[in-house]
């Protein structure tokens, strides 16, 4: 049986990515698929892109990968300017040219992987969602193209994991985040196992792995590089609290759920 490591939402956190890849190597997994969002938030988008180009067999488009290096956009935000300037030559073009989704057979299941939703990388489907949003994940769109209809959909973007199954065997899972996981900030990735390429029913599984890493080392790099929005980055990496709730957290007020926020993951 083949095992595939699914990583996503590294967001410039090179220290977390290196720890996750080391864990993948320890498990003897050679295939790594990346579901997008290599850049932004963390300080080392350039190094993350370089490493993912080297190690990931499949690289998909994320929302940050699409809008940050867009040549038709100008940013007034110093933070966005910092993250954009951190990219190396040609990396912006590489990111924007990544495929939207990746489809394949696994143990009789038609698998579809994408970053956020079946329509666009800029619309996310959260853990708390409507039935219409769930069913939409399995449909063909202009972005996904045609082919066999998927019955196993893996996606990312929300920075918090999930697994759900409904009638007709339709199953979804969210990979969580390597570099910016919410709730529990420990980096997370998925392992998908089964008979790769087979349309015949066979055992398969999806599992979730948490990988502790040196948070202090990552934060030290961010400080040394003068990374923008450092306080927000710190609270996300230390506590898994979204930076948009930084003032609320500092005030000591009871925290509201991450799922209720219109956050830009």
* DSSP string of 105-145, one letter each residue: EETTEEEEEESS-SS-TTS---SS--HHHHHHTTS--TTT-
Q: Is residue 238 part of a domain?
A: no
For residues 254 and 55, which has the higher predicted lDDT (pLDDT)? Answer: 55
Tokens of 162: 């999930």
Q: Domains in the chain: how many in total?
A: 1
Q: Is residue 226 part of a domain?
A: no
Q: Is residue 250 part of a domain?
A: no
Where residue 123 sits, what CATH number does that domain have?
3.60.21.10
- Helix intervals (H) in the chain: 14-26, 45-55, 63-67, 78-85, 91-96, 131-136, 215-224, 230-239, 246-251
Q: Is residue 171 part of a domain?
A: yes
To which residue do tokens 């933070």 refer? 79
- Exposed / middle / buried, residue 133 (Cβ in 10 Å: 0-12, 13-18, 19+): middle
Residue 258 has pLDDT above 70, yes or no: no
* Whether 43 contacts 223, CB under 8 Å: no
Q: Is residue 98 part of a domain?
A: yes
Q: Is residue 150 part of a domain?
A: yes
CA–CA gap between residue 221 and residue 58 (Å, rounded):
28
DSSP state of 196: B
Residue 265 has pLDDT above 70, yes or no: no
Q: Is residue 232 part of a domain?
A: no
pTM for this predicted structure: 0.94
The tens digit of pLDDT for each residue in 163-208 reads 999 988 899 999 999 999 998 999 999 999 999 999 999 999 999 9
Q: Residue 223: which residues within 8 A CB-CB, separation 6 or more?
A: 230
The tens digit of pLDDT for each residue in 16-62 reads 999 999 999 999 999 999 999 999 999 999 999 999 999 999 999 99
Predicted confidence at residue 130, as pLDDT, reads: 85
In sequence order, the β-bridge partners of residue 207 are 191
Which domain does 111 fall in, by range? 2-210
Give the pLDDT mean for 131-153: 93
Q: Is residue 236 part of a domain?
A: no
């Amino acid at each position: 049986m083949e095992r595939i490591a699914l990583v996503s939402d590294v967001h410039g956190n090179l220290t977390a990515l290196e720890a996750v890849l080391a864990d993948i190597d320890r498990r003897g997994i050679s295939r790594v698929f990346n579901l997008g969002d290599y850049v932004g938030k963390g300080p080392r988008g350039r190094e993350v892109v370089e490493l993912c180009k080297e190690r990931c067999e499949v690289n998909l488009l994320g929302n940050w990968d699409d809008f940050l290096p867009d040549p038709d956009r100008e940013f007034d935000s110093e933070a966005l300017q910092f993250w954009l300037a951190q990219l190396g030559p040609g990396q912006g073009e590489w990111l924007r040219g990544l495929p939207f989704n990746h489809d394949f057979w696994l143990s009789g299941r038609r698998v579809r992987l994408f970053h956020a939703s079946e329509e666009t990388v800029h619309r996310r489907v959260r853990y708390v969602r409507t039935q219409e949003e769930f069913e939409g994940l399995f449909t063909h769109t202009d972005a996904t193209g045609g082919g066999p209809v998927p019955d196993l959909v893996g996606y990312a973007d929300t920075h918090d994991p999930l697994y759900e199954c409904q009638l007709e065997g339709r199953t979804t899972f969210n990979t969580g985040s390597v570099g910016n996981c919410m709730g529990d900030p420990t980096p997370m990735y998925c392992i998908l196992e089964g008979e790769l390429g087979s349309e015949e029913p066979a055992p398969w599984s999806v599992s979730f792995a948490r990988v502790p890493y040196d948070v202090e080392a990552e934060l030290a790099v961010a400080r040394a590089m003068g990374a923008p929005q450092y306080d927000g980055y710190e609270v996300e990496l230390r506590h898994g609290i979204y930076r948009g709730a930084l003032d609320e957290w500092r005030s000591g007020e009871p925290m509201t759920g991450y799922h209720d926020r219109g956050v830009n993951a």
